[in-house]
């Protein structure tokens, strides 16, 4: 089989081959749940080996890799709460060493992400802080949460200033200001003996009795009073706070078992798990289309050894195009 990253005589519009990247699916990557007759719902995200497959495409400082891993788990968890066709993304732009952080997840669970790093700024930061926080890495800037359903649908986007030390607290600020929703986010990412792992636990306070209305089953329970709802919410937060990062990242503990440990006495109802997959969507055809937007003069400046090489920022694969087969916008 020919290498799809190498030059080909096949016209660009017929080239749809994916590069040689992992064909990896985590069947129970996201497990939604709610607490019956309580105003609490959530999602538990466990990326498993998928985290290592995505994060090791680039060689980064562990603090940067950890930040991207947390963003991937968070994005998968937020996307799973939406009904949409397209992609949901988290983007952070700041004036710190990590000038760009991007993670996105499609409605089918295809997950990808990358970071853009100013190595000089990062080196200066690491001299004074060998394990910098998300706030130190990103600096001043903004977070954008975007649901893109294609050119025929209106794109929804929420933007907030970066506030907080961790990515979890930054996301909490977004929920409070943009969604006006009480939520708690716990994120974990670390290199384990099995490789990089990343996880997220997202809790949300919803109106009424919880994730499924009892009357839908033919039962009836009077709505909880406001104070009882607040108490249920505080109890759920306290229980979630007992979860350790080691537990979140342990492949030996299933998501179902983790939730059972936390909420089995609170009317836990587990939903249908959602699969996550290695989701880079690059191809020769897409990158050929990008090159076609440049002038012939610009294309000539890109040539090395009679070819132009374009790297996918997500999977870090280099695609080579013979200069003769690429026609610029002025051609």
Reported as a single tens digit per residue, the pLDDT across 236-282 is 999 999 999 999 999 999 999 999 999 999 999 999 999 999 988 77
Q: CA-to-CA distance for 187 and 152, rounded, in angstroms?
A: 34
Q: Is the dihedral of CA 103, 70, 118, 284 positive or negative?
A: negative
- Asked whether residue 13 carries a pLDDT value surpassing 60, the answer given is no
Q: Residue 288 in contact with residue 264, Cβ under 8 Å?
A: no
Rounded distance, CA 175 to CA 56, Å?
30
What is the pLDDT of the chain when averaged over all its residues? 86
Cα(167)–Cα(286) distance, rounded to whole angstroms?
32
CB 300 within 8 A of CB 28: no
Contact (Cβ atoms closer than 8 angstroms) between residue 147 and residue 156? yes
pLDDT of residue 21: 62
**Rounded to whole angstroms, how far apart are CA atoms 298 and 258?**
54
Q: Which two tokens stand for residue 116?
A: 């853009």
* β-strand partners of 160: 143
Whole-prediction pTM: 0.84
Q: Residues with Cβ < 8 Å from 144, sequence gap 6 or more?
A: 89, 90, 91, 92, 93, 157, 158, 159
Q: Tens digit of pLDDT for each residue in 176-228?
A: 876 677 899 999 999 999 999 999 999 999 875 444 444 444 444 455 688 88
As given in the structure block, the two tokens for residue 35 are 């607490």
**100-104 contacts, C-beta under 8 A, 24 or more apart:** 101/67, 101/68, 101/71, 101/138, 102/71, 103/68, 103/71, 103/72, 103/74, 103/75, 104/75, 104/279
Q: What is the pLDDT of residue 3?
A: 52
* Cα gap 231→211, rounded to integer Å: 17
Expressed in angstroms, the distance from the first to the final Cα of the chain is 32
For the segment 116-155, what is each residue's pLDDT rounded down to a tens digit?
999 999 999 999 999 999 999 999 999 999 988 776 677 7
Q: Rounded to whole angstroms, how far apart are CA atoms 91 and 112? A: 12
Among residues 328, 293, 325, the alpha carbon closest in space to that of 15 is found at 325
pLDDT exceeds cutoff 90 at 44: yes
Q: Average of pLDDT values for 283-306?
A: 82
Domains and CATH numbers, the chain: 1-21+282-331 (3.90.1280.10), 25-278 (3.55.30.10)
DSSP H or E run through 306: none
What angle do the packed helices 255-263 and 226-240 form, to 10 degrees?
130
3-state secondary structure of 162: coil
């Amino acid at each position: 089989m020919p290498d799809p990253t190498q030059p080909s005589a096949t016209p660009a519009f017929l080239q749809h081959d994916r590069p040689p990247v992992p064909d990896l699916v985590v069947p129970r990557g996201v497990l939604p749940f709610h607490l019956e007759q309580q105003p609490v719902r959530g999602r538990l995200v466990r990326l498993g080996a998928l985290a290592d497959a995505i994060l090791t495409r680039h060689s980064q400082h562990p603090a940067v890799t950890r930040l991207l891993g947390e963003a991937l788990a968070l994005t998968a968890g937020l996307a799973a709460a939406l009904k949409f066709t397209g992609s949901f993304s988290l983007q952070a732009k700041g004036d710190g060493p990590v000038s760009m952080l991007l993670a996105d997840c499609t409605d089918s669970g295809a997950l990808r992400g990358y970071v853009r790093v100013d190595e000089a700024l990062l080196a200066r930061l690491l001299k004074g802080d060998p394990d910098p926080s998300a706030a130190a890495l990103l600096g001043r800037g903004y977070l954008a949460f975007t649901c893109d359903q294609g050119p025929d649908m209106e794109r929804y986007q929420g933007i907030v200033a970066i506030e907080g030390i961790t990515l979890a607290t930054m996301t909490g600020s977004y929920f409070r200001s943009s969604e006006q929703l009480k939520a708690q986010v716990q994120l974990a990412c670390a290199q384990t003996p099995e490789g990089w792992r990343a996880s997220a636990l997202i809790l949300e306070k919803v109106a009424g009795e919880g994730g499924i209305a009892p009357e839908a089953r033919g039962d009836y329970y009077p709505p909880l009073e406001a104070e009882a709802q607040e108490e249920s919410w505080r109890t759920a937060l306290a229980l979630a706070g007992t979860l350790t990062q080691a537990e979140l990242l342990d492949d030996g503990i299933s998501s179902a078992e983790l939730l059972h440990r936390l909420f089995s006495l609170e009317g836990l109802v587990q939903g249908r798990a959602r699969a996550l997959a290695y989701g880079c969507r690059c191809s020769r055809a897409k990158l050929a289309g990008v090159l076609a937007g440049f002038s012939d003069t610009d294309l000539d400046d890109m040539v090395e050894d009679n070819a132009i090489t374009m790297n996918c920022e997500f999977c870090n694969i280099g695609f080579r195009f013979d200069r003769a087969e690429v026609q610029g916008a002025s051609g």
